[in-house]
C-alpha cells in the first residue's frame, strides 16, 4: 500500500466524532446466500442506519469537523438523494443551515425526506455534473462550505467506520462486496480493512447503466458518462472532473469490479425482502445481486456484503416485487 492522505487513524477519529450520532448496524448471516456461494456470507445492514443509508457517517464526520465560523455560514451539497438527506439531518441536529442541490432524476420520496428536515432543496440541473456546477457557484455567492458526497477526506473516513464494525463483528472476513458509485464508501472501507489486513479482498459493484468509476478506471482518466434511468438511482452520477481522492483510492484498493443489470438488481431487492424481510433500494441490493448471479470471480470464503441503503418508495418496491413474482411464475 502506498502512502495516503487518509489513514486508519482518521477513521478512528471519525468514529470518536460520530459515535453518538450514527447507529452501529447489525451484520446478519445469510443462510441462503451462504449455501449458494458455498461460503459464509453476512450482510451489513446500512439500510437500518439513521436516514436509511450509510451516508450519515461521512456527512456527520465532515460537518462535525467544521470550524464554528464555517458552521455559522452553513453548508451546501449536491446529492442523488441519500447524501442530501444525511446532510439535512445532521445539519438540523447541529443547527447548521443546509442547501441541498439535486438533479432532475432524484425521486420524489427522497426529495420529501430532505424537505421535511428543514433544508433548502434546489434542483440545479438535469444531471449530477450540471447540479455540481450550479452548487459551486451558489457556494461562492453565499460563502457556504461544500460537503461533497464522496470526494472528501472526512467523508471517506466517516464511511470507513463501516470497516471498523466489519472487523469487530467478523474478524475473519476475507472479502467485502461493496456498492460503488463515486467511490467514497469503498475507499473508506477498503482503506480500513486493508490497513488492518492487506489480503482482504474488496469488490466494487455498479449497475450496467452508467457506471462512472468503472468506465473511468478503464479509460485511465475521469470520463463523463451518460446518466440513464436505473433502479439503483443512488449509484447514478459522475465522478467529478477534478476528482482528488476516490478515483485514485478506488483504483488502488479495489481487487475486482462487477456490473449488474436492472433485472439482477430487481432480483436482489426481491431476494432481500423474501429471504430476509429486508427492504433495500436498488443501490443497496447490488452486492446481493452480484453474488446471486455468481458474477464475482473470486468471492472468498468469509464474505460480507454491504447493503448500503433502503430508501426505496413503496410504489417502486411493489412494482419490483410484482414483476419478480410474474417472472417466477
Ligand X SMILES: *Cc1c(COP(=O)(O)O)cnc(C)c1O
Task: Kindly list the catalytic residues.
Answer: 55, 308
Q: Smallest Cα–Cα separation from 190: which of 251, 281, 280, 258? A: 251
**Which CB sits closer to ligand X, 71 or 251?**
251
Q: Which residues contact 328 (CB under 8 A, 6 or more apart)?
A: none
- Distance from chain centroid for Cα 327: 29
Shortest approach of ligand X to residue 169 CB, angstroms? 20
Cα R_g (the chain), whole angstroms: 18
Shortest approach of ligand X to residue 57 CB, angstroms? 10
Residue nearest ligand X, CB atom distance = 309
User: Rounded to 5 degrees, what are φ and ψ at 57?
Assistant: -65, -55
Residue whose grid cell is 457556504: 144
Shortest approach of ligand X to residue 329 CB, angstroms? 30
> What DSSP element (H or E) covers 37?
helix 31-37
Residue whose grid cell is 460537503: 147
**Which CB sits closer to ligand X, 40 or 185?**
185
Strands 75-79 and 145-146: parallel
d(CA 196, CA 183): 20
User: Rounded to 5 degrees, what are φ and ψ at 199?
Assistant: -80, -10
**Which CB sits closer to ligand X, 33 or 269?**
269
Which residues contact ligand X by CB under 6 A?
A: 53, 55, 82, 150, 179-186, 234-235, 281, 283-284, 308-309
d(CA 143, CA 311): 31
Shortest approach of ligand X to residue 30 CB, angstroms? 18
**Which CB sits closer to ligand X, 155 or 173?**
155
Shortest approach of ligand X to residue 12 CB, angstroms? 20
For the chain, the maximum distance between any two Cα atoms, rounded to a whole number of angstroms, is 60
**Which CB sits closer to ligand X, 74 or 184?**
184
Q: How far apart are the first and last CA of the chain?
A: 50
Residue whose grid cell is 486508519: 8
Shortest approach of ligand X to residue 298 CB, angstroms? 21
**Are 110 and 100 in contact, with CB atoms under 8 Å apart?**
no
**Which CB sits closer to ligand X, 40 or 55?**
55
Amino acid at each position: 500500500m502506498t502512502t495516503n492522505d487518509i489513514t486508519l487513524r482518521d477513521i478512528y477519529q471519525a468514529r470518536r466524532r460520530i459515535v453518538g450520532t450514527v447507529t452501529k448496524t447489525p451484520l446478519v448471516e445469510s443462510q441462503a446466500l451462504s449455501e449458494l456461494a458455498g461460503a459464509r456470507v453476512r450482510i451489513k445492514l446500512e439500510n437500518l442506519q439513521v436516514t436509511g443509508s450509510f451516508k450519515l457517517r461521512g456527512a456527520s464526520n465532515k460537518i462535525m469537523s467544521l470550524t464554528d465560523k464555517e458552521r455559522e455560514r452553513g453548508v451546501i451539497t449536491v446529492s442523488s438523494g441519500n447524501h442530501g438527506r444525511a446532510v439535512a439531518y445532521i445539519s438540523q441536529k447541529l443547527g447548521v443551515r443546509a442547501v441541498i442541490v439535486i438533479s432532475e432524476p432524484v425521486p420524489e420520496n427522497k426529495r420529501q425526506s430532505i424537505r421535511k428536515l428543514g433544508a433548502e432543496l434546489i434542483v440545479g440541473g438535469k444531471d449530477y455534473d450540471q447540479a455540481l456546477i450550479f452548487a459551486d457557484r451558489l457556494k461562492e455567492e453565499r460563502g457556504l462550505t461544500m460537503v461533497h458526497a464522496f470526494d472528501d477526506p472526512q467523508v471517506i473516513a466517516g464511511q470507513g467506520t463501516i470497516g471498523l464494525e466489519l472487523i469487530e463483528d467478523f474478524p475473519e472476513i476475507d472479502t467485502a462486496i461493496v456498492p460503488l458509485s463515486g467511490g467514497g464508501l469503498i475507499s473508506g472501507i477498503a482503506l480500513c480493512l486493508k490497513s488492518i489486513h492487506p489480503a482482504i479482498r474488496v469488490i466494487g459493484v455498479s449497475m450496467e447503466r452508467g457506471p462512472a468509476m468503472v468506465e473511468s478506471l478503464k479509460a485511465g482518466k475521469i470520463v463523463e458518462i451518460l446518466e440513464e434511468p436505473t433502479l439503483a438511482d443512488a449509484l447514478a452520477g459522475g465522478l467529478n472532473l477534478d476528482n482528488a481522492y476516490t478515483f485514485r483510492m478506488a483504483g488502488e484498493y479495489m481487487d475486482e469490479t462487477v456490473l449488474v443489470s436492472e433485472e439482477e438488481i430487481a432480483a436482489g431487492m426481491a431476494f432481500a425482502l423474501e429471504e430476509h424481510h429486508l427492504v433495500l433500494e436498488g443501490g443497496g441490493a447490488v452486492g446481493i445481486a452480484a453474488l446471486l448471479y455468481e458474477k464475482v470471480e473470486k468471492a472468498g470464503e468469509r464474505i460480507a456484503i454491504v447493503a448500503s441503503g433502503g430508501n426505496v418508495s413503496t410504489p417502486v418496491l411493489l412494482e419490483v416485487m410484482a414483476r419478480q413474482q410474474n417472472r417466477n411464475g
